[in-house]
Structure 1
Amino acid sequence: MVIPVIDFAAYSLSVPAGQEDVQKLRGIADELRKAFTTVGFVYLKNHGLPENVIENTFAISKTFFEKPVEIKQKYERPADDNHGWVALERENLNPERPVADLKEAYNMTLMDDQGTMPLDILPDFYKVFKEMFSLSQELGSRVLDLMSIGLDIDQTYLRQCHQRMGNSGNATTLRSLYYPPITKGVKPGQVRCGEHSDYGSITLLFQDDIGGLEVKPTGFDYVPASPIHGTVLVNLGDLMQRWTADKLIATKHRVLIPEKEVTQKKGRQSLAFFVQPDDDVMIKCLDGSGKYEEISSIDYLNMRFAATYLQQKT
């Protein structure tokens, strides 16, 4: 099972709205639908999000993550909010594993209080994240447009259900992930990121060149989702699978501890843009089957968060 690579040039961010080749869009939509009904993941090349924007976000994130813990703690994610720094071993994405994940993260939206951000130590932090968020938002919306076409519904339907991304009433989040170098013993059963599927509609994932991500298509063992320069890796979330009555598949994925010591000593980074419908959107099966009970976008997300985060230490 190979994760397909799709040329997104016909609907790239560099293509002005209203100037798309409709026939080409249909072809990309069909390729996306095929990927999301089989593998659940797809690489998009020629997506139009500038490489320097991605690199700037990686760079400022790394600078933050390499600060001492006592500094990062000032910006920690509170128990009643999803935004801010997530400490090492704070999450357990696979509850069946006995110990928490060996990673850190920083979650950010455009609506976050800038007073809680590390602007005192990194003045450009919000500016850099905002640019990455805004461009990812438009790219995500274009992927949703093509998914609508592939599902044979109105092209604007899914975009309209996500129209408040970056504003109040929508939980779409840009997450910077950091897997620090492993310099001491790993706990039995511990991994960098436990087996899980994402929660929302789709995820845009930008990887560094270290690699380590593995995905598990239905009926197959885990396969590498190795970095491909210039691409963004897109995958389905559980909410979209529910929304499509299992027509599209949210595939489990993980990041294990590298077997080679030389790789263990390298830190790993990725940027995940989690696309979530507007909070008040009611998720009901698009095919009218009623296979799943209706639930609001925000209620579903909060339910998943409650099962993910370990009890906040006091």
Structure 2
Amino acid sequence: MSSAQSIDGALQVPIIDISGFGDGDAAERARIADHIDSAATEVGFMQIVGHGIPEQVCAGLVEAMDTLFGLPMAQKRACIAPAGVNRGYTAPKTERLSYSLGVYSPDDLFEAFNIGVQAADFPDIALPPEHYPANIWPAGQQRLRAQIEDWFTHAAQVARTMTRIFAVALGLPEEFFAPYQDHTMDVFRMNNYQLPPNDAVVEPGQLGMGAHTDYGILTILWADAVRGLQILDTDGVWHDVTPAPGALLVNLGDLLARWTNDRWISTLHRVLAPIGEDGRLYRRRSAAYFHDGNYDAVIDTLPGCTSPARYAPITVAAHLTQKIAGSRELALNTGAGREADRLRAALSE
């Protein structure tokens, strides 16, 4: 399932304080895990507070994104990676996220910049560089690099906290997911949705970011508190989602849905074009930390979620390669039938 459940046409993304999971008593930890389970089962999205990322780290990320996307286009284009390498700069109108579900759409409007875990980060493990490529940074920008790397480090800690909570919520040992993420191939993508003034033409049906599900285990999202992000409910209706003050959005990815045999939801979502009802352009920024797991980890149905199993086992690398080929290499994914049908139905409304 990849759509959230609405009640009487309304959809709520719950706000969950996770601060008590680390040092709370058994009752507090169980309460947090129960709230996570409910959100994961009904919505696939949640807002978390008490995540422990200092405000100055958040402020540094925002400053870094403003600096990064404000660079001259020639300097940004110098950071474009070779085809098939999920790093560096992505220019506007060069990706189509809906292709990851096998559904045609016009070019997405966003520009982005990716960094991630590198093979060099694990000198004692022979990791394939195609899955752990080196990061690409704009020349002479040490401050923004330090600010982004600081956020990356903190987000990685939050991701591991969330997988411990997930394990408890699923009735598993707290460290169940640890062996699947000890050399996790995580990616951090910063997005800018402000269209250049000389290229503000939006085609019919064109979006800031096309409808898609996230690919990995979970996503931790910082976003401006402005309209743009929408998630799809079971009735085919799109709902706005705006983060609460101080909250991070967390949503589940396809791998976790596969692991739980769709007990938990990897929810279809999209980002609207950055144009208000008055036709004026506005700015929206977001930054998504994708926690994806080890490239060689085999994702198979978890104990207690197997009646009947809907998915065959698959490695993290094989799954991600198929998805990224759709969005970045513009090859329609033919392996996402149910999600594609649900998206086509919503688009036809």
Q: Distance in 2 between matches of 1:186 and 1:228?
A: 29
Q: Distance in 1 between matches of 2:113 and 2:279?
A: 23
Q: 1:71 matched to which residue of 2?
A: 75
**Pick aligned residue for 2:95 from 85, 91, 98:** 91
Paired residues for 1:188-267 under 5 Å: 188-219=204-235, 221-258=237-274, 260=276, 264-267=280-283
Whether the 8 Å CA contact 2:215–2:323 is kept in 1: the answer is yes
Corresponding residue SS for 1:124: helix
Q: 1:3 matched to which residue of 2?
A: 13
Whether the 8 Å CA contact 2:67–2:144 is kept in 1: the answer is no
Structure-2 change in CA distance of 1:71 and 1:238 (3 Å): same
Corresponding residue SS for 1:254: strand
Corresponding residue SS for 1:138: helix
Paired residues for 1:20-31 under 5 Å: 20-31=24-35
Structure-2 change in CA distance of 1:261 and 1:182 (3 Å): farther
Q: Deviations over 1:106-132 (max 9, x none)?
A: 111242646x311x2311233212211
Higher relative contact order (CA 8 A, sep 6+): 2
Name the Cα RMSD after superposition. 2.0
Whether the 8 Å CA contact 1:197–1:237 is kept in 2: the answer is yes
Q: 2:7 matched to which residue of 1?
A: none
Structure-2 change in CA distance of 1:246 and 1:135 (3 Å): same
Q: Deviations over 1:232-265 (max 9, x none)?
A: 1000101110111111011111111255266842
Paired residues for 1:264-279 under 5 Å: 264-279=280-295
Task: Give me the TM-score of the superposition, normalised by structure 2.
Answer: 0.81
Corresponding residue SS for 2:107: coil
**Pick aligned residue for 1:35 from 20, 36, 39:** 39
**Pick aligned residue for 2:115 from 103, 108, 131:** 108
Amino acid aligned to 2:166: M
Moved more, 185-194 or 246-255: 185-194
Q: Distance in 1 between matches of 2:269 and 2:59?
A: 24
Question: Are 2:273 and 1:285 equivalent residues in the alignment?
Answer: no
Q: Deviations over 1:198-254 (max 9, x none)?
A: 000010011112231111133351111112110010001011101111110111111
Corresponding residue SS for 1:273: strand
Shift of 1:87: 1.2
Return 5+ residue gaps in structure 2 as ranges.
1-10, 119-132, 332-349
How many pairs were matched up?
A: 299
Q: Distance in 2 between matches of 1:235 and 1:146?
A: 14
Task: Give me the TM-score of the superposition, normalised by structure 1.
Answer: 0.89
Percent of residue pairs identical: 28
Q: Distance in 2 between matches of 1:117 and 1:21?
A: 44
Corresponding residue SS for 1:278: coil
Amino acid aligned to 2:294: D
Corresponding residue SS for 1:37: helix
Question: Are 2:167 and 1:148 equivalent residues in the alignment?
Answer: yes
Question: Are 2:140 and 1:121 equivalent residues in the alignment?
Answer: yes
Amino acid aligned to 2:154: L
